[in-house]
Amino acid sequence: MGIQYMKRIVLLSVLMMLVACCHSQENRKNRKEAEKFKANAEYYCGESGECKNLQKADDAAVTSLLEAIFNDKTLQCLYFADSDSDNDEQRTRALVTFRDQLKKQSTDLVLNDANGSAKVFRYISKADFSQMCAQREKTIINYIAEGRCAEENLKYGVALRYYYWALMLCYSHPNGANLYYQYDNLNSYPTSKWLHRHIDDVLNSIAIQPRRQEKAGDNEFILQITNGHDGLEGLDFSYNNGNGLAKGYTQNGLSYIKMVDSDMSEVAISIDLENKTIVKGFDSEVYAIIDKLDEQIYFPSARKVVNIEKAKKIKSLDDVKTHSDTKVGAELERSELFVNAMSSPHAEYAKVMNDIEKILSKKGDRKADELEPYFTPEGMTLMRKLLSYGKVGVVGKPTYYFIDFRDEVICRAIPMRFDFSHNVSFLRDIVFRFDPKTKKVKSIAFRNSDITESQIFNKELWSKDARLTLINFLEDYQTAYALQRKDYLQQVYSESALIVVGSVLKETKKSDNFRMKQEVKIKYDTLSKSQYLTRLNRVFDNNEFVNLSFSNTNFNTVSGKQNVIGVQLRQEYFSSSYSDVGYLFLMVDLRDKLPVIHVRTWQPNETPVNELIDNTSFIFQ
């Protein structure tokens, strides 16, 4: 036993010596490799000192690699003009936003890991680092494109958000001063300067006019927010109400503010450009970059002083609507005329709506009990859900339009405000649908935006009935997500529904010569109805709110079936934990009383236009 034991000890010692020898040989080989890369001007290199362990040595090597890039004077950073930090500190922060990517995409060589000491060398080719910078520049260009699209559709809040994020990315780019943006087919301009100027131009074009409704309180005001002609969408702002900062939000060119100090003659409006709450859920990488830069770009034009003492009195919200002679303005005006032509007076329903409006305007938690006599049991179930959707309030004095449609009377609409935690709020118009037999409200829904409605109502080749059917369906669809109508979603999706969900994959490829490239791929998952609804229920359970918004609406028949419609929309999804933008396609069978969804696909915003799914992608038999 003694001899066998000694043999094992000797064998183990020999093995340990062999491992140490192999490590030593590998480290010597790595040191030779490192010297080659140090001597090659086409590479950035970083090397740690002697550290206690490999993790600390690797972190130090990444820091050293960043310093090497910092010292490359061919890279021209942008600097914040009004910053408290000097240029070197700003440059360092800009490069630090690449730290995580550098750690993933640079190559490490262990130079020493023996006797409680560790040393690491890292390198990346300048071509590969340029590729990383090019990917950030691509994001900047994409954000500008998104902003211009939103601006054309009067979504100035969304446009400014994208422009501001793009500008912050310019400041995080190591070569930000040398980026150029081609804003038309002939001209290009330094990207950061174009963004500065354009953001300022957009802000200067925004006009805010105070209005006071005849029956409103002395401290309550409607703000008419336009570009001089058309009402704007999605502008978030803060203002001093005489007791501190309050939040304001814009829908269809209108917002609502309430002052605490009745002696104030004017109010300062500060338009939110950064939208940190939204970017955190929308693009975590951009949020991290903005957070690490720890700077804000000040635009004096984002501050508007409004003289509320001279607020013009109006009878209804319709009195403040104006439209330009642009294409979008003309479409909005035609849409309004279409609604007016369908409307008819209903004194009995108007009285009910006035009563409902008064109850909703009250303070306190007993609104549901007072509202119950005006609703059917099904309608009251929805109203209770609505009352629990944040803190609810009525905005201004509405004008009601009643439309007779099939077996219901549609009332458009009460503008309402929904406040949530973390200073998040929405303004949404609520549509009420009456049962003509009982004269009670049988359902409620979130109305689509003016822009979305105009895109549907202006499809003159479609019958009035078909257009209203689609409007009703989209209202119910977005409301089902907002109010977590699990029963409706269970009914509206066909048992054999095809549900496709796309997600973006970013792959990093490495070839033999260490050249790296990041490619965007889109992965598609096909879910059954039960899988999709289970996933959706988890979303509902984990979020305080879910809010959908549609634009760029296109629709047509599928396979020539008159009431089977393919609807393609650009969907903005915003919840308390996550945000995204993408393309939604729904194949909806409208032949029965309750619509049936046979196909639902969602594709990320990065999807090429020629790969977007539409009504021609399927055959319906």
Can the peptide bond before residue 60 be classed as cis, meaning omega within 30 degrees of 0?
A: no
For 135, half-sphere exposure in the C-beta direction (CA atoms, 13 angstrom radius) is 17
Residue 363 maps to a domain: yes
pLDDT at 507 over 50: no
Residue 212 maps to a domain: no
pLDDT at 305: 95
Let me know whether 339 and 423 are in one domain: yes
Domain count of the chain? 3
Query: Which residues sit opposite 319 in a β-bridge?
Result: none
pLDDT at 22: 52
The helix (run of H) or strand (run of E) holding residue 67 is: helix 54-70
Let me know whether 439 and 489 are in one domain: no
pLDDT at 516: 37
Last residue of a domain, which of 126, 155, 177?
126
Distance of CA 418 to the CA centre of its chain: 18
Percent of the chain with pLDDT over 70: 90
pLDDT tier, 511 (very low <50, low <70, confident <90, very high otherwise): very low
pLDDT at 114: 78
Last residue of a domain, which of 93, 126, 159?
126
Let me know whether 615 and 500 are in one domain: yes
Q: Which residue has the tokens 């329903």?
A: 349
Last residue of a domain, which of 395, 428, 447?
447
**For 555-568, what is each residue's pLDDT tens digit?**
888 877 778 889 99
What's the domain range around 370?
A: 324-447
Q: For position 355, which CATH number holds?
A: 3.10.450
In this structure, of 15-19, 165-169, 202-206, 361-365, the range with the lowest mean pLDDT score is: 15-19
Let me know whether 596 and 552 are in one domain: yes
pLDDT tier, 620 (very low <50, low <70, confident <90, very high otherwise): low
226 vs 252: CA distance, rounded Å: 9
In terms of Cα–Cα distance, which of 276, 273, 283, 294 is closest to 136?
Answer: 283
169 vs 408: CA distance, rounded Å: 51
- Helices within 247-344 (DSSP H only): 276-282, 284-293, 327-342
pLDDT at 4 over 70: no
- Give the predicted TM-score (pTM) of the model: 0.79
pLDDT tier, 385 (very low <50, low <70, confident <90, very high otherwise): very high
Let me know whether 13 and 61 are in one domain: yes
In this structure, of 137-151, 280-294, 333-347, the range with the lowest mean pLDDT score is: 280-294
In this structure, of 171-180, 409-418, 455-464, 573-582, the range with the lowest mean pLDDT score is: 573-582
In this structure, of 243-247, 265-269, 419-423, 459-463, the range with the lowest mean pLDDT score is: 419-423
Computed over every residue of the chain, the mean pLDDT equals 85
Token digits for 525?
């998952």
Backbone φ/ψ region at 154: left (φ over 0), alpha (ψ -120 to 50), beta? left
pLDDT at 491 over 70: yes
pLDDT at 323 over 80: no
pLDDT at 285 over 90: no
171 vs 289: CA distance, rounded Å: 10
Q: Judge whether 242 and 261 are in contact, CB under 8 Å.
A: yes
Question: Sign of the CA dihedral 303, 304, 307, 313?
Answer: negative
In terms of Cα–Cα distance, which of 241, 245, 242, 234 is closest to 257?
Answer: 241
Residue 409 maps to a domain: yes
Percent of the chain with pLDDT over 90: 38
For residues 517 and 206, the model is more confident at: 206
Residue 313 maps to a domain: no
Let me know whether 611 and 486 are in one domain: yes
Let me know whether 489 and 432 are in one domain: no
Residue 521 maps to a domain: yes
In terms of Cα–Cα distance, which of 46, 22, 188, 165 is closest to 109?
Answer: 46
pLDDT at 11 over 80: no
